[in-house]
Amino acid sequence: MLKIHNNLTRQKEIFKPIKEGKVTMYVCGMTVYDFCHIGHARVMVVFDVVSRYLREQGYDLTYVRNVTDIDDKIIKRANENGEDITSLTERYIVAMHEDERALGVLPPDIEPKATQSMEDIISMISTLIDKGYGYVGANGDIFYSVSRFEKYGQLSGKNLEELQAGERVDVDEAKQNPFDFVLWKMSKADEPSWDSPWGKGRPGWHIECSAMSTKCLGDHFDIHGGGMDLQFPHHENEIAQSEGATGHKFVNFWMHNGFVRINEEKMSKSLGNFFTVREVLERYRPEVVRFFILSSQYRSPLNYSNESLDEASSALRRLYTALRDLKGGRESDAAKPFVERFYEAMNDDFNTPVAVAVLFDIAREINRQKGESDELAASLGNTLKRLSGLLGLLENEPEAFLKLSDGVATESALGDKEIDQLIEERITARANKEWAEADRIRDLLKEQGVILEDITGGTSWRRG
RNA sequence: GGCUGAGUGGCAGAGUGGUUAUGCAGCGGCCUGCAAAGCCGUGUACAGCGGUUCGAUUCCGCUCUCAGCCUCCA
ipTM of the complex: 0.96
- Look at residue A125 and tell me if it is in a domain: yes
Going by the DSSP 8-state scheme, the letter that residue A348 receives in this structure is: B
Both A33 and A117 in a single domain? yes
Q: Å from A300 (CA) to B7 (C1')?
A: 13
- Strands (DSSP E) contained in A167-297 are 181-186, 201-203, 221-227, 251-257, 260-262, 265-266
Q: Å from A354 (CA) to B21 (C1')?
A: 8
Mean pLDDT for all residues in chain A: 94
- Look at residue A182 and tell me if it is in a domain: yes
Residue-range definition of the domain harbouring residue A339: 306-402
Q: Taking the C1' atom of B32, which residue's CA lies nearest? A: A454
In strand B, which positions have an atom below 7 A from any protein CB?
1-5, 11-15, 21-25, 32-40, 66-74
Both A32 and A140 in a single domain? yes
How many residues can be counted in chain A?
A: 464
Nearest to A238 by CA among A213, A221, A255, A259: A213
Nearest to A356 by CA among A289, A266, A295: A295
Both A392 and A459 in a single domain? no
**3-state SS class at A277:** helix
- Look at residue A33 and tell me if it is in a domain: yes
* A43 CB and strand B closer than 7 A: yes
Both A386 and A458 in a single domain? no
Both A437 and A366 in a single domain? no
Q: Which of A3-7, A192-196, A284-288, A454-458 has the lowest mean pLDDT?
A: A454-458
Both A368 and A422 in a single domain? no
d(CA A46, CA A309): 17
pLDDT tens sequence across A403-439:
998 865 555 568 889 999 999 999 999 999 999 999 9
- Look at residue A28 and tell me if it is in a domain: yes
d(CA A461, CA A445): 10
Both A370 and A439 in a single domain? no
Q: Classify the phi-psi angles of A212: left when phi > 0, otherwise alpha if psi is within -120 to 50, otherwise beta.
A: alpha
Both A342 and A391 in a single domain? yes
Both A197 and A345 in a single domain? no
- Look at residue A282 and tell me if it is in a domain: no
Total domains, chain A: 3
Domain harbouring A123, CATH code: 3.40.50.620
* A434 CB and strand B closer than 7 A: no
Q: Which residues 235-274 in chain A have a CB closer than 7 A to strand B? A: 257-261, 264-270
Both A232 and A102 in a single domain? yes
pTM of the model: 0.96
d(CA A208, CA A155): 19
Q: What percent of chain A has pLDDT over 90?
A: 88
CA A36 to the chain's CA centroid: 11
* A454 CB and strand B closer than 7 A: yes
Q: Which residues pair with A150 in a beta bridge?
A: none
